[in-house]
Structure 1
């Protein structure tokens, strides 16, 4: 029985390091780390990713698959639910770092199965909805920026970058306190609250000032 970490980032500019760091901080150790870099979780199904396909080939009954959250498996509802159900049917245990969820296919109790499947469906739907909201905010911000040739109406440059936003959102998902998040991300408490309370505005700011993204 082996433990796998699967990590994914959608652009080549992003790094995978923080996903492994979070997993290790949560107490996980790994026999294998499988990672796809620069691969969309929206448009590229898990089975069609270079390392995702390899993961399908390697996982066996009794193995444990660890992911930061289900959105690393993908941001398409049907793809994510199909992927997880396929792994569970093989006898693989799927665990998430954020929220500490464990999905085990060994149960035969219909009520437990119904609750498990409903939770998987909800998390997969949330991942897709977040991706769609982010994409829409980015489109709006880019369209606004293109309409202002001199850039004078873009507003003040944000005090955060993409990497810091990812850190903040990850820690919020783990119910970390605002003061601790500010310390770990290098941002002020006010900025952390702004990222938390205004996700659409955050994405628009990053789209208007792409040079701040990392």
Structure 2
């Protein structure tokens, strides 16, 4: 029985090694790492990704599919929900690094199945909602940059976070992860995390001003 860690990175700023290190630090033993690069979790279904598709052939009953969070499987509600359900039907256990969630098809109790499936649906919806929130913040930052083009020629203070750290912090904030836990996971100060939380559009604008 193997544990395969799946990572998806949609931009050059994101780092597979960081996702793997986070999983190993949480105590997971990984037998193999499979990743898709430059793939959007919104517009590309899991089964349409080169290595996402391969996992359906690689994983066998009793194996574990490990991901940092369900949004690595996708940021589309139906796709994430259907992907987890399909793996469970095949006897594959799906686990997440964040919060240590486990989804499998072992229980035959209808009430437990209902609770499990409801949680899967909620997390899938959250993944899509987070993606839409980030897009909205980006649109707001771009609009503000255009409206104040002359002002943004002076870039101001350089952000204390990278785009990878911003994305990770924003994702976890929307999952109600505590600021202290986010600081530990991302290496950011609490002040930086509160700045992202209070003004994501401003943070997006600052990163774009500095080419981050």
Partner of 1:46: 46
Alignment partner of 2:8: what SS? strand
- For residues 174 and 19 of structure 1, do their structure 2 counterparts lie closer, same or farther at Cα, with a shift above 3 Å needed? farther
Partner of 1:192: 193
Give the TM-score, by structure 2 length: 0.87
Instruction: Give the number of equivalent residue pairs.
Output: 209
Partner of 1:163: 164
Structure 1 residue corresponding to 2:204, chosen from 191, 203, 206:
206
Question: Shift of the alpha carbon at 1:12?
Answer: 2.7
Partner of 2:96: 96
Question: Shift of the alpha carbon at 1:190?
Answer: 1.9
User: How do 1:17-32 residues align onto structure 2 when only pairs under 5 Å count?
Assistant: 17-32=17-32
Q: 2:27 and 2:120 mapped to 1: Cα distance?
A: 23
Q: Is the 8 A contact 2:179 2:190 kept in 1?
A: no
Q: Is the 8 A contact 1:160 1:212 kept in 2?
A: no
The reply on whether 1:6 has 2:6 as its aligned counterpart is: yes
Deviations 1:41-79 (A, max 9, x none): 000000011111111121111110100110000000000
Q: Is the 8 A contact 1:99 1:174 kept in 2?
A: no
- For residues 147 and 170 of structure 1, do their structure 2 counterparts lie closer, same or farther at Cα, with a shift above 3 Å needed? closer
Give the TM-score, by structure 1 length: 0.86
Q: 2:168 and 2:133 mapped to 1: Cα distance?
A: 19
User: How do 1:33-182 residues align onto structure 2 when only pairs under 5 Å count?
Assistant: 33-150=33-150, 151-152=152-153, 156-168=157-169, 178=180, 182=183
Question: Shift of the alpha carbon at 1:82?
Answer: 0.5
Partner of 2:15: 15
- For residues 42 and 183 of structure 1, do their structure 2 counterparts lie closer, same or farther at Cα, with a shift above 3 Å needed? closer
Range moving further from structure 2, 19-28 or 114-123: 19-28
Q: 2:120 and 2:184 mapped to 1: Cα distance?
A: 32
Unaligned runs of 5+ in 1: none
Alignment partner of 1:36: what SS? strand
Alignment partner of 2:136: what SS? helix
- For residues 79 and 164 of structure 1, do their structure 2 counterparts lie closer, same or farther at Cα, with a shift above 3 Å needed? same
Q: 1:86 and 1:133 mapped to 2: Cα distance?
A: 27
Alignment root-mean-square deviation, CA: 2.4
